[in-house]
Structure formats: structure tokens, C-alpha cells
Amino acid sequence: MTRIDDTFARLRAERRKAFVAYIMGGDPDVETSLAVMKGLPGAGVDIIELGVPFTDPMADGPTIQAAGQRALAGGQTLDKTLDMVRAFREGDTTTPIVLMGYYNPIYHRGVARFLEDARRAGVDGLIVVDLPPEEDDELCLPAQAAGLNFIRLATPTTDDKRLPKVLSNTSGFVYYVSVTGITGAASAQAADVGPEVARIKAATDLPVVVGFGISAPDTAREIAAVADGAVVGSAIVKLIGEGRPVDEVLRFVAALADGAHAA
């Protein structure tokens, strides 16, 4: 059982949906992003997705791409992102942390070394969007052997023939991408998402959380009502990119969390 498994078990017992928040590590600097990160659990966040900046973020829209560029320009690295996890764990040993990013920095570091460092730092799961199931031997299976959840994305184009392959080695939860395209590109619609979540849940016992296209408390509530939780990233990152104070960012996160938890 990982922290992610424990969190969903607790939420099920409480009959509540999960709220997952994404921030980019090192955006606009380590001090600010770590302050936001440390404040997320108090704002109602159940699981933290921490982005690892990369120069070619193919799944990310302009808002998160800009966040990655700010972080890289400020000197953020994979090492510094893991340092953020260590610093967070000094005061919080229960909130799950999922690293979200791309395979290149992990490959460059070496899979075995990365997994050991991530586990020791306090990482609970990985979302690596450019590794398909056909490449599970590369990172997915070693990650699970090391005790980390490997979370896979399902999308509106994941048909019934493809879905079993996507789910085959997924653990922790399934991340359903509510729109076709990049992050922040469109608004999620519960009427479209609900049947897709039901289709996925018919094929797995894992929780299904929905991300992409959620930017307001009402939308978080509507989407969480038809899934096991909601993920918000771009809307939070946008405020950080505008230079809003940390407490203002966290108030916005709290409103989103309240929306998801009200489902």
C-alpha cells in the first residue's frame, strides 16, 4: 500500500472525492514553489502532482509550458525537484506526491538511480506521459518493483481495444484526460466525461480522476461528481505565473478543493 492507495481508501471511507493539484517544480523559483507546495494540504489538496520541467513538454499547453521555461531559466533541475520533495517531507509524511513529466530527464539520470533517489526523497508515484504501455519494461515495471505507483493516462481516443493495454500495469489511479489536446486548451464537460469514466471503471478497480479543462470550483464539483476526483493544474499555475502572492494562490486552491469535495 502506498500513500496514494491509503489516501483513496480514506476518501472512500469518508465518502468524499479526491482533489489533486498540479504545480511546476521551481516556478518561478524554488522558494515560491516550495511555499505553495507546503500550503497545498492545508488548502484541501489530497494528492500533489509536482511537475518536473522539461524543454519539450508535448502534452502541456502554453500556461504550463511557460511555467517550465520559467523554472528552467531559474536553474531548476531534477535534483532540485527531488530536493523540494525532501523539504516537503520534513513537515508532511502523509500527503502523496506524484512526479509528472517526461522520460528524457529520467533516462539521462539512469532509471535505477532515479527510482532509488525518488523513493528516498518521498515520491509516491510517477506520471510519465511519453512512455506508452509498449515501453513498460523501460520504467513502469521497475517503478512498481521499487514501490512507486505508475499512473497512466486514458483519453477520449482510448477505445475499448486499447483500454486493456493502458490499464495493464497502471497502479494508484487512472488519470482520465477530459479533452482531446493539451492542458488548458478546453473546458471539461461532465456530460461527456461521465460515460467515459464509467467505461473505464467497468474495466478496473482503480480510482479514476479527471484532469485537463478544470479551472473553477463549480467545474471541479461537476467533474468530481462523475469520477473519483478532479485534477487542476493550469488554472493554479496561471496565478503563480502572474506573480500572485502565495496566500492568494492557496485561497484559490482551497475554493477548488471545496468544489471537488462537495461532489
Residues acting as catalytic residues: 49, 60
Cβ proximity of 18 and 48 under 8 Å? no
Q: How many CB atoms lie within 10 A of CB 133?
A: 15
**What are the backbone angles phi and psi of residue 32, rounded to the nearest 5°?**
-70, -45
**What are the backbone angles phi and psi of residue 232, rounded to the nearest 5°?**
-125, 130
DSSP 129-162: TT--GGGTTTTHHHHHHTT-EE--EE-TT--TTT
Cβ proximity of 231 and 210 under 8 Å? yes
| Grid cell of 188 as nine digits | 471539461
CA 59 – CA 148 distance, rounded (Å): 22
The continuous run of DSSP H or E covering 261 comes out as: helix 246-261
**What are the backbone angles phi and psi of residue 209, rounded to the nearest 5°?**
-110, 155
Order of strands across the sheet with 47-51? Answer: 149-150, 125-128, 97-101, 47-51, 18-24, 229-232, 208-211, 174-177, 153-154
Query: What residues contact 258, with CB distance under 8 A and at least 6 apart?
Result: 44, 217
What is residue 162's DSSP assignment?
T
Closest CA to 231 of 258, 208, 210: 210
Tell me how many degrees the CA angle 81-130-48 measures, rounded to the nearest 5.
40
